[in-house]
Amino acid sequence: MKADSSSVLGSRSRPRQHHGGGLGTPDWPAFYSHPLSALSLLSSQENYRSEESEEFGPVFIHEPGDVIFPLDSDEKKVMMHCEARGNPPPTYSWYINGTALDAEADYRYSFIDGNLIITNASEITDYGRYQCKAENSFGNVLGREALLQFACE
């Protein structure tokens, strides 16, 4: 290669790359090499979409925590929160002391999304250790035990 004043080694300016049109034109070299160029952004969006379309078993986002419910509460409702991610979206079930809760058999229990709502909570029947289970066709996860206790304020 013949050295001249325009060679890469002899010049302080960067060589221009010609790749034809778009943001990577010689007039906009900074956009061509920038990590957040239009092409790399489109590529990352495609990767994100493909990840979201993959199917996977449930993973907890939020597990229930221990609850101390005041006996003199006017509300008389306890809510325990459980949320999991999965594709397909998971369904939820709840257990008290290892036994499945049946919302159809006991009107006091309601399942709304992953949440358990106990209406007219009673220390005699509702005190115990609760667990949330999230499941889909790819698996299931059983949450940690959350203790529901009752106390006077």
> Are 142 and 131 in contact, with CB atoms under 8 Å apart?
yes
**Percent above pLDDT 90 for the chain:** 58
Q: Which CATH superfamily is domain 56-151 in?
A: Immunoglobulins (2.60.40.10)
Give the pLDDT score at 71.
86
Give the pLDDT score at 51.
53
Question: Looking at 82-86, 90-94, 119-123, which range is the least confident one?
Answer: 119-123
Mean pLDDT of the chain: 78
- Does position 96 have pLDDT exceeding 80, yes or no? yes
Other Cβ atoms within 10 Å of 121 Cβ, number: 21
- Does position 2 have pLDDT exceeding 70, yes or no? no
Give the pLDDT score at 50.
43
Other Cβ atoms within 10 Å of 109 Cβ, number: 17
- Does position 134 have pLDDT exceeding 50, yes or no? yes
Predicted confidence (pLDDT) per residue in 24-57, tens digit: 444 544 444 445 544 444 444 444 444 557 999 9
DSSP 74-141: SS-EEEE--EEEEESPPEEEEEETTEE--TTT-TTEEEETTEEEEET--HHHH-EEEEEEEEETTEEE
Give the pLDDT score at 89.
96
* Region 117-134 average pLDDT: 95
Predicted confidence (pLDDT) per residue in 9-24, tens digit: 444 444 444 444 444 4
Annotated domain spans of the chain = 22-53, 56-151
Give the pLDDT score at 152.
85
